[in-house]
């Protein structure tokens, strides 16, 4: 793995652990795609640090289980502004 990729993976990992951010939020902050963030956290991070990978996975699993709530809230807000 190239050095700049390792650096990005560890920076993204630290950001998610600090903020609990979603993949989408993290992708916006680091100006990469959601796919890149997901691949970095699920495939590349475990090869660098298994313990950090476990911690990030917990946060990503929580975010995934709550995403339907965030989506519903976004829709509610959108239609409240329109009407």
Q: What is the pLDDT of residues 40-69, one digit of tens each?
A: 999 999 999 999 999 999 999 999 998 888
Q: What separation in angstroms does the CA of 25 have from each of 51, 59, 81? A: 23, 13, 22
CA distances in angstroms from 12 to 26, 50, 51, listed in the order given: 7, 15, 15
For residue 1, the SS3 value is coil
Dihedral pair phi/psi, residue 10, rounded to 5°: -70, -35
pLDDT tens-digit readout, 5-45:
999 999 999 999 999 999 999 999 999 999 999 999 999 99
């Amino acid at each position: 793995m190239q050095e700049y990729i390792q650096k990005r993976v560890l920076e993204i990992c630290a950001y998610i652990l600090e903020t609990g951010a979603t993949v989408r939020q993290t992708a916006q902050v680091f100006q990469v795609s959601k796919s890149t963030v997901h691949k970095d956290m699920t495939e590349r991070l475990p090869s660098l640090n298994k313990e950090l990978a476990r911690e990030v996975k917990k946060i990503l699993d929580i975010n995934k289980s709550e995403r339907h709530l965030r989506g519903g809230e976004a829709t509610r807000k959108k239609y409240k502004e329109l009407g």
